[in-house]
Structure 1
Amino acid sequence: MINAVALVKEYGKVRALDGLSLDVEPGTVFGLLGPNGAGKSTTVKVLTTLSIATSGTAHVANLDVTKFPEKVRQVIGCVPQKTSVDPAATGRENLHLQGALYGLRRAALKSRTDHLLTRFGLTDAADRPSRTYSGGMQRKLDVAMGLIHHPRVLFLDEPTTGLDPESRAEMRTELTRLAAEDQITVLLTTHYLEEADKLASRLAIVDRGKVVATGTPDDLKNELHGDAITIDLADTAAIAQAHPLLARIATEVTQSGRSLRARVSDGATAVPAVLAALDSAGIAVSSVAVARPSLDDVYLRYAGRSFADAEGVAA
């Protein structure tokens, strides 16, 4: 349903996309996971015809996005990061305006509007100005507007950013329903590891404008055997001394602030050995944590840095 091959997008000397490729099957929720600045939003802009790639090809619903942009826009819905809701208009008026732009006639537009208001729990607030809506309600209205014309593909750019936990959970439930019940292909961008893990049936991890790994969340995590251990040192100055000691016992040792992170085959047996080695060297430890593989570990494996560090660089 969505195919991109070797996309490059340059803004002057800045290369936002650096040969990005992806393939999205119909009726799935596909996640683009990466830190801010990784190229996720630029990818969405190219796929939704809002920007033209410097090189490479992209097709949505078998339509070339460069050759047939008008046709592409008819079969997609797009919900950008920043709300497109008119705050002075009511929820119903926002939906009517969006539907009219796509050529929906009166009876069909009324029926579709009523259906979406009910589906997103907005019926009671339908005739209130949308500026009175909570952040979660406005985001629901945004998604409803993106669905008004029965699109085959829905693009969601950071759909839950700024929402409270309850609204975020409700949005995740509704997006899962879209793919399962409506057979709409959903491509969403996110920098929330938990959201990508729970919501996406498949995902692509994006770093510095490239896809560095792709697969189901479980498959990507299962590629990493053993456990991850994180050691917080009492003194940052001891990092240089502790790093080689840990490397003798573990693999993939990385540093973030005064923490060292590594992979071991069995955390329960490795931790005592690690603590003993650090203690014998006079290195004080504040805390130790052991965890099963996560998407953060996957990101670390393929991008060469932790997700938190990548967010800091991107910011």
Structure 2
Amino acid sequence: MVSPGILLVDKPGGLTSHDVVARTRRAFGTRKVGHAGTLDPMATGLLVIGIEGATRLLTYIVGADKTYTATIRLGVSTTTDDAEGEPVRTADPAALASATDARIAAEIAELTGAISQVPSSVSAIKVDGRRAYDRVRAGEEVELAARQVTVSRFDVLETRRGSDAIDVDVVVECSSGTYIRALARDLGEALGVGGHLTALRRTRVGGFDVADAVDIDHLAGAQTLSPAEAASRTMPVLEVTADEARDLRHGKRLLGQAARLKASEVAAVDPDGLLVGVVEARGRDIKSAMNMPEVQG
């Protein structure tokens, strides 16, 4: 029997997130596998994979803040806002020369904090039931609505200037739903030279770090995080007694206990260290929002 757990995988370039899920299914011998947030095929880095009952935790992980390292190429715009698209505009040398380090820093500052961002048209967002990228590939014009996102860190690590482009290595910490390709596009537009993403690597999802991830060739027998450990990296923990754990698992409320909760979503862990589930306040009571299977190993 396959134990539920969270697996951290360092996705290589060229594979889709679904490819990684398919390989994980084969490696662990189960169909019940999912992931917390897609990475484009071009991108590398951290995929948080749920196995068996731990897939129930993914909904609480997918909205976590994320950290990326990326390379933005200024001077060229593409159809997809990344290196997989066709070039549509190239800046002339004079315009490129005007994109000084000081101007780059100033425009990056404008893209930091709470911002309104229009996602790249080549994204997984659904428009009338179909993915935006499918509509674009079918030749349709797609305009997505702006959304509010938060970019808490947008720092330049290194800048390399060539005759026809400027490559800027950056690190970005942002809220879920932020498109790094769109940041590259918008930075290039603000500087008047165009821009796109040439490299992207996700290094962190909430409390999970790519340094702890396994590579794609070592999935079989890979160590997973227990549901309780994974939940503790995602939300506060409430230790419950065996009686309280039993009641929560049976759908009963813990009457008058809501003051024990430190957040809107809290992981309830029983005396054996097993995750009971995710609990929330309901009036003055504590109630289960999600229950884990009792067998966890």
Report the TM range for the smaller structure's normalisation.
under 0.3
Q: Quick check: which one's strand share is greater?
A: 2
Give the TM-score taking structure 2 as reference length: 0.27
Q: Quick check: which one's helix share is greater?
A: 1
